[in-house]
C-alpha cells in the first residue's frame, strides 16, 4: 500500500460580506443588509430666521407639550430616519438656537447673512454638508411635523429618475396635489443653487429644470403645514399631539 496522501489544507473561509455584519444604529445593533452611508441623504435643517410672524420666540425654540422644542423634535425625527450628516443653519438668536443642538448628532453652522433670505441659509447648509450623500434633504424648521414615514419615503426615492435619461435632482413631497417640504436636492442641483445670489428665490431651480423635478405623493399633511403664526402652530400641535403646546 502506498504512502498516504498528505492531508489537504482547509481552504480559508471567505471574508464576510461587510453589509451583513453588525452595524451601529441610533436604535441599537442589527444584523442584515445595510445601505451604504452614501445612499442616505444628508439633512440640512433651516433654522436661521427671526420668525417674526410666530411671535417673540423663534419657531425653532417654540415649546411642545412634552418638554422639547420644535427644533429638538425635528432633530430627533432626522436621527430616527438615519439622515447623516445632520446640519442646522442658525442665524437670529444664534446662541439660543445652538444650545438646542447640543447633545444631538447635529452640527450647527452660523449664517451671518440670514436677514437676506432663505436662499443664503440654504447655501450655507449645502456648503457645509458637501456632496456624495445621495442627495441633501432641506428641512425648514417651520414644517416640523413631517412624519417618519415621509422621511423614509423621500430617502428611498433618491435613486429614482424624473424621466427617461433624466436624473431626479429635485424631489418634492406632494400631499393631495400640494407641493410641500422638506425637499431633497441632488448634487447637480446643489452645485447650481450654490451659484445663486442670496436674494434669488430657491424655486428658481425647479422652475427652470422641470425635467429634473420628481413629485413624491405622501399621505402626510405635515409637509404642507407651516407653523408661521401662533394659530397655525397651535393647530399643528393639536393635530400631532392631541392638545395644545
- pLDDT, tens digit, for every residue of 74-117? 999 999 999 989 999 999 899 999 999 999 999 999 999 888 88
Say if CB 93 and CB 54 are below 8 A apart: no
pLDDT given at position 178: 98
Query: Strand 161-163 and strand 42-47: pairing?
Result: unpaired
pLDDT given at position 132: 84
pLDDT given at position 20: 31
Whether the bond between 5 and the residue before it is cis, its omega within 30 degrees of 0, is no
Give the torsion sign (CA, 185, 73, 146, 98).
negative
Top-confidence residue, 35 or 238: 238
- For the cut 70, the answer to whether the pLDDT of residue 52 exceeds it is no
* Residue (of 84, 81, 87) closest to 44 by Cα position: 87
**How high is the mean pLDDT of the chain?**
82
Provide CB contacts within 8 A for 129, sequence distance 6+: 42, 43, 44, 85, 87, 136
- For the cut 50, the answer to whether the pLDDT of residue 134 exceeds it is yes
**Percent of the chain at pLDDT above 90?**
63
pLDDT given at position 166: 67
* Residue (of 193, 211, 210) closest to 202 by Cα position: 193
- For the cut 70, the answer to whether the pLDDT of residue 153 exceeds it is yes
Which residue segments constitute the domains of the chain, with CATH numbers given? Answer: 39-241 (3.90.550.10)
Amino acid at each position: 500500500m502506498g504512502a498516504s496522501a498528505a492531508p489537504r489544507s482547509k481552504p480559508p473561509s471567505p471574508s464576510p460580506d461587510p453589509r451583513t455584519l453588525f452595524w451601529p444604529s441610533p436604535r441599537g445593533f442589527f444584523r442584515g443588509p445595510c445601505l451604504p452611508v452614501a445612499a442616505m441623504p444628508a439633512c440640512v435643517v433651516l433654522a436661521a430666521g427671526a420668525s417674526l410672524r410666530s411671535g417673540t420666540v423663534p419657531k425653532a425654540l417654540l415649546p411642545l407639550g412634552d418638554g422639547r422644542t420644535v427644533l429638538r423634535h425635528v432633530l430627533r425625527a432626522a436621527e430616527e430616519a438615519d439622515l447623516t450628516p445632520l446640519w442646522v443653519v442658525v442665524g437670529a438668536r444664534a446662541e439660543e438656537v445652538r444650545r438646542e443642538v447640543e447633545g444631538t448628532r447635529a452640527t450647527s453652522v452660523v449664517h451671518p447673512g440670514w436677514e437676506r433670505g432663505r436662499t443664503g441659509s440654504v447655501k450655507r447648509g449645502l456648503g457645509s454638508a458637501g456632496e456624495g450623500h445621495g442627495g441633501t434633504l432641506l428641512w425648514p424648521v417651520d414644517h416640523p411635523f413631517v412624519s417618519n414615514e415621509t422621511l423614509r419615503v423621500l430617502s428611498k426615492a433618491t435613486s429614482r429618475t424624473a424621466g427617461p435619461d433624466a436624473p431626479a435632482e429635485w424631489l418634492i413631497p406632494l400631499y393631495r396635489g400640494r407641493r410641500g417640504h422638506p425637499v431633497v436636492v441632488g448634487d447637480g442641483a446643489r452645485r447650481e443653487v450654490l451659484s445663486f445670489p442670496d436674494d434669488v428665490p430657491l424655486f428658481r431651480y425647479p422652475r427652470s429644470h422641470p425635467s429634473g423635478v420628481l413629485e413624491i405623493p405622501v399621505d402626510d399633511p405635515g409637509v404642507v403645514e407651516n407653523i408661521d403664526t401662533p394659530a397655525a402652530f397651535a393647530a399643528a400641535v393639536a393635530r400631532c399631539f392631541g392638545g395644545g403646546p
